[in-house]
Amino acid sequence: MSQSAPAVATDLEAHAPISRKRRFARLGLLAAAITGLAVAAATLPLRDIGDAVVALGPGAAVAVAVLGGLLLSVLVPRTAVTVACGALLGAATGMVAALAAAVIAAIATYYAGRWAGRGALQAKAGGRLARLDGWLNRRGLAAVLLVRFLPLAPFGLVGYAYGTTSVCRKRYLLGTTIAAIPSTVTYAVIGAAVASPGKMSPVTMAPAVIGFLLSTAIVLRWRQTSRRAAAAAVVPAAA
């Protein structure tokens, strides 16, 4: 009995909201780290680094995925990273590396945001942020898909923001991965076409077209469903 009590207490402490002072300190450290890495990414010779990474041979895809995940985490646009993956590795391998980079960044930013801002939305009980947190939880996977499909903010920034919510990490990671697939296919193929235009054909561009149509259809379907749900909610209220 004496051994289980400390374990329970430790678990409660791990999930307890952190104080405002500590939260601000952690947010400051996270912002400083992101800024420092972003400055490094802007000043480093990325072209030379890319050439050196490609020279690694079979390990190039892994290195590109890790480097891409780091760049996404410091708020480099995912479009640029994905196009670069396609240009460096070709369409097929570039797609895999770019998707892996997105997953790596999604995990890193989510847990960094949770470490720095855990409990931030819950602390605003009764306010708009608390209602937002509740809406994200009720919508679950659909909310993650919507936020990821719409170009609301840089990929990494959305990950940091989700870390401050109480959204389940499994739904977040699954939704992020699914939403990343169409654009990953599109921009990786475009990057490969830019690097080797003579090797591309209309058939090679088919995945890019399919990815674009799929993402557009999902967003339009979501908007239609949201309007129907809003209309259904208004009818009982009026009655």
* pLDDT by residue, tens only, the chain of 239 residues: 444 444 434 333 444 555 666 666 666 676 676 676 666 656 666 666 666 776 777 788 999 999 899 999 988 889 889 999 988 888 889 999 999 999 999 999 999 888 876 655 555 444 555 666 666 767 677 778 878 877 778 898 888 888 888 788 888 898 899 888 888 888 888 888 887 776 666 666 666 677 667 767 766 776 677 677 666 655 555 55
Domain ranges of the chain: 4-238
pLDDT at site 15: 47
Residues 6+ apart with CB under 8 A from 76: 38, 41, 154, 156
Query: C-alpha 18: how far from its chain's center?
Result: 24
3-state secondary structure string, the chain?
A: CCCHHHHHHHHHHHHCCCCHHHHHHHHHHHHHHHHHHHHHHHHCCHHHHHHHHHCCHHHHHHHHHHHHHHHHHCCCCHHHHHHHHHHHHCHHHHHHHHHHHHHHHHHHHHHHHHHHHCCCCHHHCCCHHHHHHHHHHHHCHHHHHHHHHCCCCCHHHHHHHHHCCCCCHHHHHHHHHHHHHHHHHHHHHHHHHHHCHHHCCCCCCHHHHHHHHHHHHHHHHHHHHHHHHHHHHHHHHHC
pLDDT at site 4: 47
pLDDT at site 118: 63
Tokens of 50: 């890319």
| Cα separation, 198 vs 18, whole angstroms | 56
The single residue listed with the structure tokens 């919507």 is 146
pLDDT at site 167: 81
Of 152, 172, 98, 123, give the one whose Cα is nearest residue 24.
123
Contact between residue 156 and residue 105 where contact means Cβ atoms under 8 Å apart = yes
pLDDT at site 185: 85
- Residue type for 120, please? A
pTM over 0.95: no
pLDDT at site 204: 61
